[in-house]
Chain A
């Protein structure tokens, strides 16, 4: 009977993140840090770098990259897949972070969370004096925290939208051409847009 607590701890480990911080609280922690950065008086590029670093820990860019490529993923060689994921990470962070920087003083409202199979969904809003923007995060537990595997802005999935653009590009160019294009736009990781 003395081994029961140890067994219980081991058995509970995969869901430990939910105990460490529930998905809503974890999302709140990240977004409030983002709000502080956006409202701060750093330069645009400094904010961009700080936000990219923050969301680098929150966004599961590899999962989103694979999902965005969809059926094309298997037509990439392993080397191309690795390069694509590295570039997609930069693209995703810039796309999401730059949008966040459009708001001068974003106020986040945390509407709620619901647990689903494999993870959770957190509903948030960015509220401005005239309007509000719904942003939904799909999260999965990872280590002691949560990782966002999908972001939906105003009912439009960021991954699906990027996937649609990638699909259009791959219909008229080769994988190498796509990677060259992405390298040109996102190969510089200095944080400048």
Chain B
């Protein structure tokens, strides 16, 4: 009977936390919807941007472009625009250059070389493009190449670095490292602030001669240091155990790690401001971390996502974080090469911190 009474008392406490109950179901459903959409409703290779420079303007180029359009998001652009899309903004994994006189040479059965400018760091998208190229090659072989004479030869050239081949480790190790750092930050910040309320230390701190900014800032800086160390150690583990490349600039990698963790720490403070109980912290923390990880390209490449989700992904700090890490690791970029990502991530962290400061009432009720 006593056990039953304790159970009923605990159930009453749980039921009283309506937000916690909603979070138990709604939050996992949101995660399931996002992950299901990401894994099942994606446009596949159709969402891969594939710039083609058509210097031929002849029937063969038209046929090649038509064949690629069946499978990829083909954009006919200038040489400079193709270079920009592949090497500068990394929106496309590769660009195809169809040279002048291609049609004339093809129709006269003379072999031609087409150039594929690549960003090997987007190796998964690149693999998808190569599969499409094989299909197109079979189609063109049956067009006017009766005995499979090599009329079109593809010359591949990386324009983003010396590394030409990558494996899934380059996606998975940084992706999962970032995901665990984010998860740790959301849990640790939310739970630590809630525990201070339980231990009533928050009340004492609120009357200490400290501004709220100093108080919250100090706590978050500690998390920033721990999170940065965690991320760098996880990447080093990947390097020494699995041979993960870390790029050519340790300074850039450390700066990226600090900026990425800063953005996540600020975001974790915003989440903590919304979480009112410890019971809410677990489902909300898991939901936020999984949604940000799956939409931000930490689990799979962005092209796997539906276009609408890709648009959302472009403003997430997880997307910017993995992109900055890959820029240093895979594209060999220096500190100046990742300056845009650093500015975005640090700004993200600062703005999140200011929002959290506005929402969080230390020593009183959390949230607003």
Q: Which residues of A contact B (CB under 8 A)?
A: 91, 94-95, 98-99, 101-104, 128-131, 133, 153-156, 158, 161-162, 165-166, 169, 181, 185, 193
Count of A-B residue pairs with CB < 8 Å: 57
Mask of B98-136 contacts with A, CB within 8 angstroms, 1/0: 000001100111100000000000000000000000000
User: With A91-B146, A98-B144, A133-B103 in contact, is A156–B109 under 8 Å at CB?
Assistant: yes
Would you call B107 and A165 a contact (CB within 8 A)?
no
User: With A131-B58, A133-B103 in contact, is A162–B108 under 8 Å at CB?
Assistant: no
Would you call B108 and A154 a contact (CB within 8 A)?
yes
A183 and B149 CA atoms in complex are apart in Å by: 17
| Cross-chain contact of A153 among B107, B146, B147 (Cβ < 8 A) | B107
| Nearest Cβ on chain B to A72's Cβ, whole angstroms | 14
Known: A102-B143, A162-B146, A169-B147. 8 other contacts (CB 8 A): A128-B58, A131-B103, A133-B104, A156-B110, A165-B149, A181-B147, A185-B146, A193-B142
| Cross-chain contact of A98 among B109, B110, B143 (Cβ < 8 A) | B143
Nearest-CB residue, chain A, relative to B110: A156
User: With A130-B57, A131-B103, A154-B104 in contact, is A102–B109 under 8 Å at CB?
Assistant: no
| Nearest Cβ on chain B to A86's Cβ, whole angstroms | 15
User: With a CB–CB cut-off of 8 A, which chain B residues contact A129?
Assistant: 57
Would you call A99 and B107 a contact (CB within 8 A)?
yes
A84 and B278 CA atoms in complex are apart in Å by: 82
| Nearest Cβ on chain A to B140's Cβ, whole angstroms | 10
| Nearest Cβ on chain A to B104's Cβ, whole angstroms | 5
Nearest-CB residue, chain A, relative to B105: A154
A101 and B146 CA atoms in complex are apart in Å by: 15
Would you call A165 and B108 a contact (CB within 8 A)?
no
User: With a CB–CB cut-off of 8 A, which chain A residues contact B60?
Assistant: 102
User: With a CB–CB cut-off of 8 A, which chain B residues contact A156?
Assistant: 108-110
A91 and B103 CA atoms in complex are apart in Å by: 21
| Cross-chain contact of B58 among A98, A130, A153, A169 (Cβ < 8 A) | A130
Which among B104, B143, B146 has the highest number of chain A CB atoms within 10 Å? B146
A15 and B353 CA atoms in complex are apart in Å by: 95
User: With a CB–CB cut-off of 8 A, which chain B residues contact A91?
Assistant: 146
A98 and B151 CA atoms in complex are apart in Å by: 15
A102 and B152 CA atoms in complex are apart in Å by: 15
Would you call A153 and B108 a contact (CB within 8 A)?
yes
Interface presence of B243 (CB below 8 A): no
Nearest-CB residue, chain B, relative to A129: B57
User: With a CB–CB cut-off of 8 A, which chain B residues contact A94?
Assistant: 142, 146
| Nearest Cβ on chain B to A168's Cβ, whole angstroms | 8
**Chain A to chain B contacts (Cβ below 8 Å), 18 pairs:** A98-B143, A102-B59, A102-B60, A104-B59, A104-B62, A130-B57, A130-B58, A131-B57, A131-B103, A133-B103, A133-B107, A153-B107, A154-B104, A156-B110, A165-B149, A169-B147, A181-B147, A193-B142
Interface presence of B63 (CB below 8 A): yes
User: With a CB–CB cut-off of 8 A, which chain A residues contact B108?
Assistant: 153-156
Mask of B131-165 contacts with A, CB within 8 angstroms, 1/0: 00000000000111011010000000000000000
Ranked nearest first, the 10 interchain pairs of A and B with the lowest CB-CB distance are A154-B108, A156-B108, A102-B59, A193-B142, A130-B57, A161-B109, A98-B143, A165-B147, A99-B144, A103-B59
A130 and B110 CA atoms in complex are apart in Å by: 20
User: With a CB–CB cut-off of 8 A, which chain A residues contact B149?
Assistant: 165
A95 and B141 CA atoms in complex are apart in Å by: 10
Would you call A95 and B144 a contact (CB within 8 A)?
yes
A102 and B60 CA atoms in complex are apart in Å by: 6
User: With a CB–CB cut-off of 8 A, which chain A residues contact B146?
Assistant: 91, 94-95, 162, 165, 185
Would you call A98 and B107 a contact (CB within 8 A)?
no
User: With a CB–CB cut-off of 8 A, which chain B residues contact A131?
Assistant: 57-58, 103-104
